[in-house]
Amino acid sequence: MFSFDKRYLYIFVAIMVVYNLGGYIQNPSKLLSLLLALPAVIIAMTFHEFAHAFAADKLGDETPRNQGRVTLNPLKHIEPIGFVMLLFAGFGWGRPVQINPVRFKRNISMSKGEAIVSFAGPFMNLILAVIFSFVLGFIFKFNLLANVSSTYSSIIIILLYQIIFMNIGLGVFNLIPLPPLDGSKILRHFMPTKAQMWLDRNQHIFYIIFIAIWVLGLAGVIISPIIRIIAKGIMLLVSGTLGIDLTLLLMLLGIYI
């Protein structure tokens, strides 16, 4: 049975935090961005895991409900290492929602049910990104912060920007088709039975690949372009709907997508 000593993970994360904190402390604007990223991370992670639990519950599996996971209480969903990674690296994970596919309703296969539950998390993140992008768009469209000081209005806009990008980042990262991420379970559903069995037998290989990609910093290289493409697509949607150029308005505030 493949196992990974989590002490190495903790050491790596500790080094990354110490390395990054120096830069944040020396740069007040970066420190402010970090502080504003905290609520963004909590929102993205909480809704992501809640969506998994909610989907499983609706499909007939009461396991998440019995474990108190069908809730928007952040304390039920945050996983410390994944939280730190999402905060500093822009991608991470929450505490996995445990499910029992055997308990799914009879009119749905276990494989399909697992795929639906897995997709629910990233889908929720992308929906939130769209919602908060429209909130940002309405603020610009109707000048809703006109009576707010420039300092506070900047904080609100940066916070919304952080929420949008954290949700896109978490959603895209979890769609990578490598165990233990959601994308692997979605992909598994569409694979032939023999391929599913092969994947199950060789999961440890993909875990190693996943860890290598993560530790070497390749995850960011892979998903950053995708995140920006999705973000630009959402901005175009909001801009076209509201008749504004949201990307340009953000650029005027020094926020580049």
Q: pLDDT-derived band of residue 32, with 50, 70 and 90 as boundaries?
A: confident
4-8: average pLDDT: 60
**pLDDT digit string (tens) for 141-178?**
999 999 999 989 999 999 999 999 999 999 999 999 98
Question: Following CA atoms 92, 98, 101, 103 in sequence, which dihedral angle do they give, to the nearest 10 degrees?
Answer: -150
Percentage of the chain exceeding pLDDT 70? 93
Q: pLDDT-derived band of residue 1, with 50, 70 and 90 as boundaries?
A: very low
Cis ω for the linkage preceding 180 (within 30 of 0) = yes
116-120: average pLDDT: 98
Burial 20-57 (b: 16+ CB within 10 A, else e): beeebeeeeeeeeebebbeebbbbbbbbbbbbbbbbbb
Q: What angle do CA 165, 166, 168 make, to 5 degrees?
A: 60
Identify whether the C-beta of residue 94 lies closer than 8 Å to the C-beta of residue 48: yes
Active site residue 49: yes
Q: What angle do CA 91, 135, 240 make, to 5 degrees?
A: 95
Q: pLDDT-derived band of residue 2, with 50, 70 and 90 as boundaries?
A: very low
Separation CA 54–CA 65 (nearest Å)? 8
187-204: average pLDDT: 90
**Active-site hit among 49, 62, 79, 114:** 49
**pLDDT digit string (tens) for 46-90?**
999 999 999 999 999 999 999 999 999 999 999 888 888 777 766
Separation CA 25–CA 128 (nearest Å)? 30
Give the per-residue pLDDT at 239.
97
Domain boundaries, the chain: 6-252
Give the per-residue pLDDT at 136.
97
**pLDDT digit string (tens) for 206-241?**
888 887 887 777 878 888 999 999 999 999 999 999
Full 3-state SS string of 108-160: CCHHHHHHHHHHHHHHHHHHHHHHHHHHHHHHHHCCCCCCCCHHHHHHHHHHH
What CA–CA distances, in Å, run from 113 to 21, 52, 148, 171?
Answer: 41, 11, 47, 19
Task: Please enumerate, as own/partner, the contacts of 195-202 that have beta carbons within 8 Å and a separation of 24 or more.
Answer: 196/111
Identify whether the C-beta of residue 239 lies closer than 8 Å to the C-beta of residue 231: no
114-128: average pLDDT: 98
Phi-psi region of 243 (alpha: psi -120 to 50; beta: other; left: phi over 0): left
Q: pLDDT-derived band of residue 91, with 50, 70 and 90 as boundaries?
A: low
Distance of CA 52 to the CA centre of its chain: 12
The Cβ of residue 234 has, within 10 Å, a number of other Cβ atoms equal to 21
9-24: average pLDDT: 70
Question: Following CA atoms 158, 162, 43, 166 in sequence, which dihedral angle do they give, to the nearest 10 degrees?
Answer: 180
Give the per-residue pLDDT at 153.
94
Q: pLDDT-derived band of residue 103, with 50, 70 and 90 as boundaries?
A: very high
184-190: average pLDDT: 94
180-208: average pLDDT: 90
